Amino acid sequence: MISMVLGTASLTVRAHAVITHSSLDTEPVAAGQATVVHLFFNSDIEPLLSIVYLVSKGDKKQPLELRHGERPGELIVSLPPLAPGAYALQYKVFAADGHITEDVLKFSVTGGGH
C-alpha cells in the first residue's frame, strides 16, 4: 500500500515548464540593437519542438530564432533591433518531461539611440 501511494505521489510531482527568470529581469532591451534574451525554465526544454514569437503593436507575430543554453532549462532567443515600445514574447515550449506550456512574457524597449 505504501509503495502504491509513493508511486502515485512521484507521478504528480511533474508539472508544466514555467519561466523562473529571464535576462529581461536585469538587462533591459535597448532600442535599435539586436539583443539576446535568456529564458530560464524550471524544466529542461526541447528547442526543436518549441517556438517563440515576438509580438509587437497590432498583435503582429514574428517567429524568433532560439537555441538551447548552457544550463538545463535555458533557452536563448535572438531579438532583432527594435523601436522603443511595448512588446511580448509568446512562447509554446515542449518540456523534456513531455508537457507543453504556452504563455506570454511582456517587456519594453527603452531609449532612442543616438
- Residue 104 grid cell: 506570454
Q: Whole-structure pTM over 0.75, yes or no?
A: yes
What confidence tier does 5 reach under pLDDT thresholds 50, 70, 90? very low
Q: Match 524550471 to its residue by C-alpha cell.
A: 42
pLDDT value at position 112? 63
Does residue 104 have a pLDDT over 70?
Answer: yes
How far is the C-alpha of 94 from the C-alpha of 74, rounded, in Å? Answer: 13
For each of the domains in the chain, give its residue range(s) and CATH number, in order of start.
Answer: 17-110 (2.60.40.1220)
Where on the phi/psi map is residue 58: left (φ > 0), alpha (ψ -120 to 50), or beta?
left
How far is the C-alpha of 54 from the C-alpha of 62, rounded, in Å? Answer: 5
pLDDT value at position 16? 81
Where on the phi/psi map is residue 61: left (φ > 0), alpha (ψ -120 to 50), or beta?
beta
Chain segment 40-60, per-residue pLDDT in tens: 999 999 999 999 999 999 999
Is the CB of residue 88 less than 8 Å from the CB of residue 24?
no
Chain segment 72-93, per-residue pLDDT in tens: 999 999 999 999 999 999 999 9
How far is the C-alpha of 76 from the C-alpha of 65, rounded, in Å? Answer: 8
Does residue 14 have a pLDDT over 60?
Answer: no
- Residue 71 grid cell: 544550463
